[in-house]
Amino acid sequence: MCEVTIVIPNYNGEKYLWNCVDSIYANTKVPFKLIVVDNGSTDESISQIERSFPKAEVIRLDKNYGFCRAVNEGIRKSNTPYVLLLNNDTVIRIGFVEQLLHAIKKDKKIFSVEAKMLQYMDPSLIDSAGTYYNAFGWAFSAGKDKPVFNYRKRKRTFSACAGAAIYRKELFRSVGLFDETHFAYLEDVDIGYRARIMGYKNVYEPTAEVIHIGSASSGSRYNEFKVKYSSRNNIYLIYKNMPLFQTLINFPLLCIGFGIKAVFFFRKGFGLVYLRGLLDGIALCKRDKKVKFQPKNLKNYIKIQIELWINLFRRLF
């Protein structure tokens, strides 16, 4: 029985997509379905896939709606118990899909499982070994630029990087799909945060390995598009997921965190872009999408708050 649908969002991924899909068919032994959702690409990436991999299903959107809309289209179209999201600039290793399936089946409270993401230029270094969020309002990848052998233990995470993660589909009914307001960036932290509020778990699985080029769509680690949307979405994420009491608790640390980021991006030449992103994020907070506080979830908010402090210490030290 096919248990997993792999969803790949694509936008002008001619340099990467074919290798990504080829690695899936070459390195996966369990039955799977593959859906490629294209955001109005103008290159030959989708034509290449249709010629080379006729079993892959392609959904063509009329324009670039962003990562969130693309993966949501794939999730809705899937009819398997699990959905695996994969960036188009990745190449999976043998056993990747099998290990993620094995990990998510261990506990019905697991919402998502993130794979071990390795750097394309040097696969001996980590790109991401778990996604975390802290009381400074910083999302960060564990192990970034550090040796792979230090990250061999399975562990709980704050959320999962949606560039290479598996999700339990039935839980999307209660948690919700990816918030398309984000367009791109921090949407995976947002959905992981919502899952945590409801008492579900997110996990890192080190035996599932994938090589990741990174920033293939936006162009580089730091650029105007990424800085703008990351800062915008961070404000929106805080507003949306933190109830008033939690926002007040974290407010001094959040101010420090945003201040440090502003100095950093001014030095990088993106200071004004960062500030405009923050203002755009404040404007988004007027929308009626805030997660409603429910007393039954209070213990989960307390657990999350403690983790935000722990993750701050982990990030700084």
Asked whether the beta carbons of 254 and 304 are under 8 A apart, the reply is no
State residue 222's pLDDT score.
Answer: 84
State residue 215's pLDDT score.
Answer: 59
State residue 288's pLDDT score.
Answer: 82
State residue 247's pLDDT score.
Answer: 97
Dihedral in degrees, nearest 10, Cα atoms 181, 276, 88, 168: -40
Say how far apart CA 213 and CA 174 lie, in whole Å.
Answer: 33
- The H or E element containing residue 174 is helix 172-175
State residue 289's pLDDT score.
Answer: 87
Q: Collect the ranges in the chain with pLDDT lower than 70.
A: 215-220
Measured CA to CA in angstroms, residue 147 lies from 116, 129, 144, 221, 229 at distances of 12, 11, 9, 20, 29
State residue 72's pLDDT score.
Answer: 98
Q: What DSSP letter does each residue of 286-310 carry, written as one string? A: TSS-PPPP-GGGHHHHHHHHHHHHH
Say how far apart CA 99 and CA 84 lie, in whole Å.
Answer: 12
State residue 285's pLDDT score.
Answer: 93
State residue 219's pLDDT score.
Answer: 52
CB atoms within 10 A of CB 299: 10
Domains of the chain, each with CATH number or no CATH: 4-212 (3.90.550.10), 224-316 (no CATH)
